Amino acid sequence: MNKLKVMTVFGTRPEAIKMAPLALELTRHPEFEALCCVTAQHREMLDSVLDIFRLKPDFDLDIMEPRQTLSTITSKCLTGMDRVLEEAKPDLVLVHGDTSTTFAGALAAFYHKIPVGHVEAGLRTFDKWSPYPEEMNRKMVGAIADLHFCPTASNRDNLARENITQGVFLTGNTVIDALQTTVVRHFSFGEHILNHLDYDSRKVILVTCHRRENYGQPMANIMTALRRVADAFPDTELVYPVHPSPVVQETAHKYLDGHPRIHLIAPLAVDEMHNLMSRCHLVMTDSGGLQEEAPALGKPVLVLRRETERPEAVAAGTVRLAGVEEVSIFQMTSRLLSDQREYDSMAHAANPYGDGQACRRIADAIAWQFGLRMNPPEEFRGQ
């Protein structure tokens, strides 16, 4: 039997976390020849994920440079992908989400007339500038892609509004597949401070903040609010694994250094992150992925942004938008920390994003679409 050559392409930490389980799933299906190309838009953060999932890429463009711009990432990915696609000649290229790697990977495949599958398709804020540049990246990839793997029904509705109705599959999000392999009851952290925190008597707040549209004043507001929270609530411990971007590093250290209960630590390996999340009291973040993971673990999330492309967990009551102003962030956090009923109303497990079967559905959908399987894949129906 002629195998279908399917190439996964990714480059940043969140893409790797959400694509690694799929890349591995594809290797388990005899009808596919699975190839993996990383752009290494991120280096250490990508390698950490590859190590944990024991995934060895077939191609590595190694493009990362300090303070890289959107144009350099895109152009280096595009020319690097040219060579890879020429050599490997895949039948299908799979990209994920909304990064510069995603856009350049899809565009390169299009230039080579290779079909594109978009994993995590259909997320929208309808604001071109926020998240920046991700909202435009996902719209442009949506226009290029032939197959669209939507995590939720509302993602599918978003595509329908853009007249994208062919090749659309409702699969759930692969991040829930990843989460199911990482969280364990007894976990020993490599980051020692995390082994010594008292998760029962202290309120451990997990913080992440890295988005480009938050650079500058919004990020300064966020950091000021975090320090106020730590000062006002002596029973809190803030743990903030700081993204290696120099802009983020400088801002976080400028505003948060020197506080005895604010712990600025290096980015965590994904298993450490998921196990910390499962033990913490509250998550404060501008990350997309954390908004999907924390609800599955029953942890309330305050989103440090003005909008979200992930309204499902807001509707489920586990996620709230805190904005990017010092006052709104401080007030919303204070309320959650001092009002137990308010906290309890948010702290319930909700799983609008997946059931751990997304990768299998995506593999089945590809096989069906290419005539290698009789039946269409079952749909994700929510939990």
State the residues that interact with ligand UDP by CB under 6 A.
Answer: 13-14, 17, 208, 210, 241, 267-268, 270, 273-274, 287-290, 293
72 binds ligand UD1 (CB under 6 A): no
* Closest CB 234 distance from ligand UDP, rounded Å: 26
Q: Which of 33, 70, 110, 307 binds ligand UD1 (CB under 6 A)?
A: 70
**CB 53 within 8 Å of CB 18:** no
* Closest CB 161 distance from ligand UDP, rounded Å: 23
44 binds, among ligand UD1, ligand UDP, none (CB under 5 to 8 A by kind): ligand UD1
Q: Which H or E element spans position 95? A: strand 92-96
* Closest CB 226 distance from ligand UDP, rounded Å: 16
Write down the residue that tokens 């279908």 correspond to: 4
268 binds, among ligand UD1, ligand UDP, none (CB under 5 to 8 A by kind): ligand UDP
Q: How far apart, in whole angstroms, are the C-alpha atoms of residue 44 and residue 63?
A: 12
320 is annotated as an active-site residue: no
Q: How far apart, in whole angstroms, are the C-alpha atoms of residue 97 and residue 18?
A: 9
* Closest CB 265 distance from ligand UD1, rounded Å: 15
Residue 164 has which token pair? 């994208």
Is it true that the peptide bond before 311 is cis, omega within 30 degrees of 0?
A: no
210 binds ligand UD1 (CB under 6 A): yes
Q: Which among 134, 177, 213, 237 is annotated as catalytic?
A: 134
229 binds, among ligand UDP, ligand UD1, none (CB under 5 to 8 A by kind): none
Residue 24 has which token pair? 């591995």
Q: How far apart, in whole angstroms, are the C-alpha atoms of residue 353 and residue 313?
A: 8
Q: How far apart, in whole angstroms, are the C-alpha atoms of residue 291 and residue 298?
A: 11
202 is annotated as an active-site residue: no
14 binds ligand UD1 (CB under 6 A): yes
Per-residue HEC secondary structure of 204-237 comes to: EEEEECCCHHHCCHHHHHHHHHHHHHHHHCCCEE
DSSP string spanning 329-374? Answer: HHHHHHHHHH-HHHHHHH-S---TT--S-HHHHHHHHHHHHTTS-S
Residue 36 has which token pair? 């993996």
C-alpha neighbours within 13 Å on the C-beta side of residue 220: 2
Residues 84-113 vs ligand UD1: string with x where CB under 6 A? --------------xxx-------------
The 10 Å Cβ neighbour count of residue 364 is: 21
Residue 118, strand partner residues = 95, 148
44 binds ligand UD1 (CB under 6 A): yes
275 binds, among ligand UDP, ligand UD1, none (CB under 5 to 8 A by kind): none
Q: Which of 27, 153, 244, 372 binds ligand UD1 (CB under 6 A)?
A: 244
133 binds ligand UD1 (CB under 6 A): yes
Q: Which of the stretches 31-39, 67-75, 192-200, 308-316 binds ligand UD1 when contact is defined by CB under 6 A?
A: 67-75
The three-state secondary structure class of 5 is strand
User: Could you list the residues that contact ligand UD1 (CB under 6 A)?
Assistant: 12-14, 41-45, 66-68, 70, 73, 98-100, 133-134, 210, 212, 244-246
The residues annotated with a catalytic role in the active site are 98, 120, 134, 210, 212, 243
